[in-house]
Amino acid sequence: MSEVAGSPPAAARVPDPAEVVVRIRGLGKAFRGHLGIGRTVAVDGLDLEVRRGEIFGLLGPNGAGKTTTLKMLLGLVRPDRGEVLLFGLPPSDPRARARLGYLPENPYFYDHLTAAEFLDFYARLRGIPADERRVRVPRALERVGLGDRAGTPLRKLSKGMTQRLGLAQAIGHDPELVILDEPMSGLDPVGRREVRDRILELREAGRTVFFSSHILQDAEMICDRVAILDRGRLRWEGALRDLVSRNVRWFEVEVVGALPPDVPCERVSREGERHLVQVADVGRLARLIDAVQRAGGQVVSVWPRRETLEDLFLRELGRPPGRAEGPR
Amino acid sequence: MSAPAPARVPPPWAAIVAIGLNTFREAIRDRILYLLLVFALVVIGASRLLSLLTVGSEDKIIKDLGLSAISIFGVMTAGFMGVSLVFKEIERRTVYTLLANPVRRWQFVTGKFAGLLSVLVLNVTLMYAALAVLLWIRGEQPLALAPAVLLTGVELAVVTAFALLFSSLTNPILAAVWTFAVYVTGHLVWSVRLLGERLPPGFARGTCEALYWLLPNLDRMNVRAEVVHGIALPDGFLAVSALYGASYTVVVLALASLALERKDFA
Amino acid sequence: MHRLAAWVLVAAAVASTAVSGLVAERMAAGRDEARSLLYLPNGKHLRTISLGHAPLLADFVYLWAIQFYSDYDREERFQYVEHVFSDVIAELDPRFVDAYWLGAMILIVEAGRLDDGLALLERGFERNPDQWILPYLAGWEAWMARQPARAAEYFRQASAVPGAPVLTRRMQAGMLRRAGDERTALGLWRELLEDPASDEASRAIASRKVRELEGTVLLAGVREAVERYRSETGALPRSLEALAQRGYLSAVPRDPSGRPFHYDPRTGRVAPPSGRVLGGDE
């Protein structure tokens, strides 16, 4: 496991500059507090690269600096130091932004517009001429299942519908790079599945996806590479498989009845007669089962586990992901 | 795997029109617009009643009240809508999605301005039409008032630009206060000059002179008294005045663009 | 129970409002609220706070003034008329012609202050030199007040405005005559007669006046010459021809109908030919 971000160790793949879609070097940003008193460092010395065709996850607890990083990526915030390059251009250059699509977290939209007017507006901002818009806007509405809602004002649509509409706005013009801020927050499992499928579709089509999230399970399922931020600093960057082993790491066993004292295992929890314990390998597993049966207890279930990002978090950061940093 | 669509940067006018149209739609669907418009039309209608109280000069009163109503309600509309224009986008974060697109910030400011100005032009036209009908019924010639209405439109453009500037800098309430201050100052600039003339030459006098030229002189766009009394304006005054107002507007919009350019949308 | 109490409270509040309102109204009957508007600040200051809507403010003050000054029950309502019209309305909207006229009417007709009224009209004319109506009205008022010389001057001012109607010159001439300056009056009537811009009616009047005055002026001239002769030589001339020969008259005087004047060398009296009083028909 690499402690510090860096390029993957062996199998040296010479990074082809043409392939790097997003390059961040030494990025730093601090905000001054109210009335100029105090200073909060949001991002401190960030290096990262996103390559063409991959799904990249920017992960970390709330307040880690993910949103600020994303905003610097889009040119909404100017960094204090370091640089951001999209397709080799700074985000302030409209040509760079012409090649990306963006969906913010909890998007607020112009609720006075109808769904069709909404998509038409962003299509115009992308320089799509009128005749093309006439065709593409209805098609985009159809694709996200809002074909019959073209004339409905946004404030009358449900959250799920506006989310779909927002996604249509972000990817409707088929950008090379799609940037999503917490795309799955606030969605039910069906909605999250839909978003995941969309992102995978994008990769199939050769597009690059960059998203931020504090829900690690979602990231685990689809990311090629991740970067983990904590308190503005980069903790890990690399391919997911390098960070998290795919091998079975330990077993979780549920036992009912007495727990034999001499078997090396870690107790996870206990509820009356039911114990949940952890054993490190197959050998110890066998001994545990044997010992429990001999003691007259029952092994209810055996669950092989591999380390997840969440485990990694808990272990390294000492706290569950999603919980922001307490007072220093 | 398919080739991505060509990435296009829209020409500036296309971005401005898109944002302007959006702003126009938003303003048109804002109820406060109708409130003020109805108020204005009522006042114009009431001028007919008011004229019953007078001895002679009925038409003067209708014209004075009508033109002043157009100006006052126009400025109120420009102020109320302008101060929240940029602020709302920032508050609601719609500006994030907007600026993530290949548009520049000055296009954003100009588009917002264009949208609001279009609404104001519509407003002023409706009010003028109502006044014109009232005067035409009485056998007066409403077209003579056109220069005053036109210059009032220019005045509204200046006020709107300021409202937009302040909206980019602070919250709507403070922005409204500042805009109102600019409006009042704009109509008192002439007294600054008078003050300067009474002072002995020196720093204070120089400051007065400088202020007189720097501050927006909104009275230059006030020809209501002249059109009502049928006094001819100097040749070309209309054009020069309008040019002054338009130029000032451009300067203020440039300042607003600058303010937004440097802003971090944290 | 609470419901009832609430309703009672509301009813009591309504009743209290009504009653106290009525009582206050009665008590305030003595107060004259409109009066306070008399103490308007000078128009120059009002102009500043009007923020570009000065003419409208002038209209409002004007409307109020009409209501105020037509209320005959008011006592001492003519204090401050000049202030209202001259210092406030005129300062707010110097071109508001009707206001000068109305203020002057109030002053002259209602308050009986001719000079103040005329001063207001003069002020209005100063600021509106194209409005011949203002000195014209002043002329009328001066005439009604039997000051024809003053009236004549006003009518002269009115006629000097380009585009002023012929009427103003007629009035001027008429006033001059009443003031006793027949010579100038005659000159004016002659001008009017010869002016191609004069209309038919004016020309007819002018022609009549010229005929009336010619004889009178001529007669006065002859009489004047006799007096000059007498004061210079101490004696009366023998005849009018002698006067002419001596150069006291440019020619032997004849009246407009061609007949000679009657001259009595004993008394020095000059009389018109048939003893008829000139200025009769024709």
Q: Please name the residue of chain C whose CA is at the shortest distance from the CA of residue B220.
A: C52
Assign B209 a pLDDT band (cuts: 50, 70, 90): confident
Token pair, residue B254, equals: 């440039």
pLDDT > 90: percent of chain B: 51
Name which of B54, B60, B225 is nearest C66 (Cβ-Cβ). Answer: B54
Chain B: partners with 3+ C-beta pairs within 8 Å: A, C
Chain segment A54-101, per-residue pLDDT in tens? 999 998 888 888 989 999 999 999 999 999 999 989 999 999 999 999
C54 contacts chain B (CB < 8 A): yes
Distance CA(B103)–CA(B99), nearest Å, equals 6
pLDDT of residue C193: 83
**Mean model confidence pLDDT for chain B:** 89
Kindly write down the DSSP assignment for every residue of chain C, as one continuous string: -HHHHHHHHHHHHHHHHHHHHHHHHHHGGG--GGGGGGGPPPHHHHHHHTTT-HHHHHHHHHHHHHHHHT-TT-TTTTTTHHIIIIIIIHHH-TT-HHHHHHHHHIIIIIS--HHHHHHHHHHHHHH-TT-THHHHHHHHHHHHTT-HHHHHHHHHHHHHSTT--HHHHHHHHHHHHHHT-HHHHHHHHHHHHH-TT--HHHHHHHHHHHHHHHHHHHHHHHHHHHHHHHHHHSS--S-HHHHHHHTSSSS--B-TTSPBPEEETTTTEEE-TTSPPTT---
Closest-CA distance of chain A to residue B105, Å? 10
Name which of C51, C59, C93 is nearest B187 (Cβ-Cβ). Answer: C51
Assign A1 a pLDDT band (cuts: 50, 70, 90): very low
Smallest CA-to-CA distance from A72 within A24, A133, A128, A7 is with A24
pLDDT of residue C274: 67
Q: Please name the residue of chain A whose CA is at the shortest distance from the CA of residue B103.
A: A94
Chain B positions touching A74 (Cβ under 8 A) are 96, 99-100
| Tokens 């021809």 sit on residue | C241
Please classify residue A98 by burial: count the beta carbons closer than 10 Å to its beta carbon, then call 0-12 exposed, 13-18 middle and 19+ buried: buried
A135 contacts chain B (CB < 8 A): no
Name which of B4, B22, B102 is nearest A94 (Cβ-Cβ). Answer: B102
Name which of B54, B61, B219 is nearest C52 (Cβ-Cβ). Answer: B219
Name which of B53, B68, B191 is nearest C53 (Cβ-Cβ). Answer: B68
Q: Please name the residue of chain C whose CA is at the shortest distance from the CA of residue B54.
A: C63
Chain segment A281-320, per-residue pLDDT in tens? 788 888 888 888 888 888 888 888 877 777 777 766 666 5
pLDDT of residue A317: 66
pLDDT of residue B201: 86
pLDDT of residue A12: 40
Q: A211-225, A233-247, B244-258: which range is least confident on average?
A: A233-247
Chain A positions touching B103 (Cβ under 8 A) are 94, 125
pTM: 0.79
Q: Which of C44, C49, C51 is the best mutation test for B, with the most CBs of B within 10 A?
A: C51
Chain segment B126-168, per-residue pLDDT in tens? 999 999 998 998 888 899 999 999 999 999 999 999 999 999 9
pLDDT of residue A24: 92
pLDDT > 70: percent of chain A: 88
Chain B positions touching C48 (Cβ under 8 A) are 188, 191
Please classify residue B101 by burial: count the beta carbons closer than 10 Å to its beta carbon, then call 0-12 exposed, 13-18 middle and 19+ buried: buried
Chain A positions touching B25 (Cβ under 8 A) are 112-113, 117
Between chains, do B102 and A117 touch, taking CB under 8 Å as contact?
Answer: no
pLDDT of residue C36: 64
pLDDT above 90 for B21: yes
pLDDT above 60 for A15: no
Q: Please name the residue of chain B whose CA is at the shortest distance from the CA of residue A69.
A: B266
Closest-CA distance of chain B to residue C100, Å? 12
Name which of B54, B55, B228 is nearest C55 (Cβ-Cβ). Answer: B228
C96 contacts chain B (CB < 8 A): yes
Q: Which of B54, B60, B63 is the best mutation test for C, with the most CBs of C within 10 A?
A: B60
- A61 CB-near residues (< 8 Å, 6+ apart): A214, A230, A317, A319, A321, A322, A323, A324, A325
| Sign of the dihedral through C-alpha C58, C64, C66, C68 | negative
Chain B positions touching C56 (Cβ under 8 A) are 64-65, 68
Between chains, do B7 and A31 touch, taking CB under 8 Å as contact?
Answer: no
pLDDT of residue A9: 46
pLDDT of residue A62: 81
pLDDT of residue A7: 42
Name which of B53, B56, B231 is nearest C67 (Cβ-Cβ). Answer: B53
Which residues of B touch chain C, with CB atoms under 8 Å apart?
A: 50, 53-57, 60-61, 64-65, 68, 71-72, 183-184, 187-188, 191, 218-219, 222, 224-225, 228-229, 231
Chain segment C81-109, per-residue pLDDT in tens? 888 888 888 889 999 999 999 999 988 98
Name which of A94, A103, A166 is nearest B103 (Cβ-Cβ). Answer: A94
Mean pLDDT of A25-50: 86
A205 contacts chain B (CB < 8 A): yes
Name which of B53, B56, B64 is nearest C55 (Cβ-Cβ). Answer: B64
Chain A positions touching B8 (Cβ under 8 A) are 98, 126-128
Assign B72 a pLDDT band (cuts: 50, 70, 90): very high
Between chains, do B50 and C63 touch, taking CB under 8 Å as contact?
Answer: yes
Between chains, do B71 and C96 touch, taking CB under 8 Å as contact?
Answer: no
Chain B positions touching A114 (Cβ under 8 A) are none
Name the helix (H) or strand (E) containing A81: strand A81-86
Report the 3 state secondary structure along C50-119.
Answer: CCCCHHHHHHHHHHHHHHHHCCCCCCCCCCCHHHHHHHHHHHHCCCCHHHHHHHHHHHHHHCCCHHHHHH
Chain B positions touching C51 (Cβ under 8 A) are 183-184, 187-188
Closest-CA distance of chain B to residue A94, Å? 4
- pLDDT by residue for chain C (282 residues), tens only, comes to 788 888 999 899 888 888 888 887 777 666 666 666 667 788 888 888 888 899 999 998 898 888 888 777 666 677 778 888 888 888 899 999 999 999 999 889 888 889 999 999 999 999 999 999 999 999 999 999 998 889 999 999 998 999 888 888 888 888 888 888 888 888 888 888 888 777 888 888 888 888 878 877 878 888 888 888 888 888 887 777 777 777 777 777 777 677 777 777 787 787 777 655 555 443
| Sign of the dihedral through C-alpha B214, B218, B221, B223 | negative
- Decide if A122 contacts B19 (C-beta within 8 A): no
pLDDT above 70 for A130: yes
For the sheet with A266-271, list strands across it. A266-271, A274-279, A250-256, A298-305
